[in-house]
A and B are shown apart, each in its own frame.
Chain A
Amino acid sequence: KAGVTQTPRYLIKTRGQQVTLSCSPISGHRSVSWYQQTPGQGLQFLFEYFSETQRNKGNFPGRFSGRQFSNSRSEMNVSTLELGDSALYLCASSLGDFGTDTQYFGPGTRLTVL
């Protein structure tokens, strides 16, 4: 099976712009979660989508949004970019069953905001 893919791998934007990141989950996985990784904060949960619905949400401002399509692919959007948004954004997919559900991560998108 192909793994989780994320595009683009690297992105440079300037403050005030917006950005859209894409994630394709492992075939058959219905849940997609997004995380932000920064050196000081580690992995922080952004949100989770399951069957096109947001099922869980972390403590991030409304500038961070996402969606999931019927084929389980997901996009994450960040509007009005700030310097502090520079981070590695990771997507993880899983079957979506509650309980012992293991997430599998993509390689991430490195976003740099200048």
Chain B
Amino acid sequence: DQQVKQNSPSLSVQEGRISILNCDYTNSMFDYFLWYKKYPAEGPTFLISISSIKDKNEDGRFTVFLNKSAKHLSLHIVPSQPGDSAVYFCAASALGGSEKLVFGKGMKLTVNP
């Protein structure tokens, strides 16, 4: 039973355009969400997070949107750059509890010059 789902395995966009990465979750106890980026042969690196008290969080070119009623979050990258090409993982946990961090299977983003 996959509690965090990234249904699209890959996405290809042109440099300068917007990249939208989607993530759905099933556990209503999740209320803290994170995005990680992973390059080959490296561990995942933290990108941005959002807690359920917010519906949007921005950090430079990266914005995460949370729709609690739909149990859906998305990561927007604007403008996309070739260096953004990597695998992106969505993760979720329950705030204040002892829930472990649950990851999606990842989505490969390719930004073409």
Contact = CB atoms under 8 A, between A and B. Distances in A.
B57 to A, nearest CB: 12
Given A42-B89, A99-B32, A100-B95, A108 B43 contact: yes
Nearest to B95: A99
Nearest to B2: A42
Interface residues of A, number: 26
Majority secondary structure of chain B interface residues (helix, strand, loop or mixed): loop
The interface size bin for chain B is: 20 to 34
Contacts of A104: 45-46
A4 B107 CA distance: 24
Interface of A: 4, 6, 33, 35, 41-45, 48, 55-56, 58, 90-92, 98-100, 102-108
8 closest residue pairs by CB, A with B: A105-B43, A42-B105, A43-B103, A56-B100, A105-B44, A45-B100, A107-B43, A106-B43
